[in-house]
Amino acid sequence: MTNKLALFDCDGTMVDSQANICASMEQAFVAHGLVPPDHHRTRRIVGLSLQEAVRHLLPEQDDALAAAVTQSYKDGFFELRQQGGVHEPLYDGLLELIDRLASDGWLLGVATGKSDRGLNHCLEVHGLSKHFVTLQTADRHPSKPHPAMVELAMSEAGATAETTAMIGDTSFDMEMGVNAGVRPIGVDWGYHDREELLLAGAHSVAMTMGELYETLNQ
């Protein structure tokens, strides 16, 4: 029997991290004499790997500057974390959802644009590390929507495309799910709107954690 795997995005799906991301991106741009992107633009690139996200925000700049801004973001975020200034609250109902899925026999995993260090910190703070059998990050994969994260997660969990769901809040998550041949399920509490998720290939978009649970078990 093939395992059932529920693969979650992190930022915008499990935790609301936009305040940290927007502040760190603004600081990185200012450090290089650049006009910071407004928060709406920054929220639009959440989910991509950091380097790819910066390239989206600086499409007309050279690679050297983009790389420098990327490093400044990393340095600033690390300093913020060291100072205890990183706040990534869980969305309401997530813990209950995870417990219900685990009780139903689902294996759980994460596929995120975060770094290994960032994801591990987030999961440890919320006491979630024990729940996930596979963790895939931007440190070891091409950026979403490349399917590599999902493919390795399925391999590690002993799941197939037919028994795997990719759950996320952005079009990048939905496109990654489509590219991997799994069931993409959107959530409407994150950073891209419902219509975008559906256009990107979402089979459905859940409005609540309860609705997400019912959708996964259909």
* Residue 16 falls in the annotated catalytic set: no
Query: Residue 132: which of 104, 106, 150 has the closest Cα?
Result: 106
Choosing from 11, 104, 116, 139, the catalytic residue is: 11
pLDDT digits (tens, 9 = 90+) for 148-199: 999 999 999 999 999 999 999 999 999 999 999 999 999 999 999 999 999 9
Q: Can you say whether the dihedral through the CA atoms of 30, 35, 38, 43 is positive or negative?
A: negative
Q: Residue 134 has what pLDDT?
A: 98
Residue 78's pLDDT is what? 85
- Residue limits of CATH 1.10.150 in the chain: 18-82
Q: Among 187, 6, 156, 214, which residue's Cα sits nearest to residue 91?
A: 187
Q: Where in the chain is the domain with CATH 3.40.50.1000?
A: 3-16+90-216
**Angle between helix 18-31 and 63-82 (nearest 10):** 130
Q: Which pLDDT score, from 0 to 100, does residue 1 have? A: 65
CA quadruple 124, 100, 185, 217: dihedral, nearest 10? 160
Q: Closest by alpha carbon to 182, among 152, 213, 214?
A: 152
Paired residues of 168 in beta bridges: 186
- What pLDDT score was predicted for residue 87? 85
Q: What CATH topology corresponds to 18-82?
A: DNA polymerase; domain 1 (1.10.150)
Q: Which of 9, 92, 99, 173 is catalytic?
A: 9
- The DSSP H or E segment spanning 7 is strand 3-8
Q: Kindly state the tokens that stand for 83.
A: 């100072």
For the chain, what percent of residues have pLDDT higher than 90? 85
* Residue 60: per-residue pLDDT: 84
95/117 Cα distance (integer angstroms): 22
63 catalytic residue (yes or no): no
Quick one: which H or E segment has residue 206? strand 204-206
- As assigned by CATH, the class of the 3-16+90-216 domain is alpha beta
Q: Could you read off the pLDDT tens digit of each residue along the chain, which spans 218 residues?
A: 689 999 999 999 999 998 889 999 999 999 999 999 999 999 899 989 899 999 999 988 788 999 999 999 999 888 888 888 778 999 999 999 999 999 999 999 999 999 999 999 999 999 999 999 999 999 999 999 999 999 999 999 999 999 999 999 999 999 999 999 999 999 999 999 999 999 999 999 999 999 999 999 98
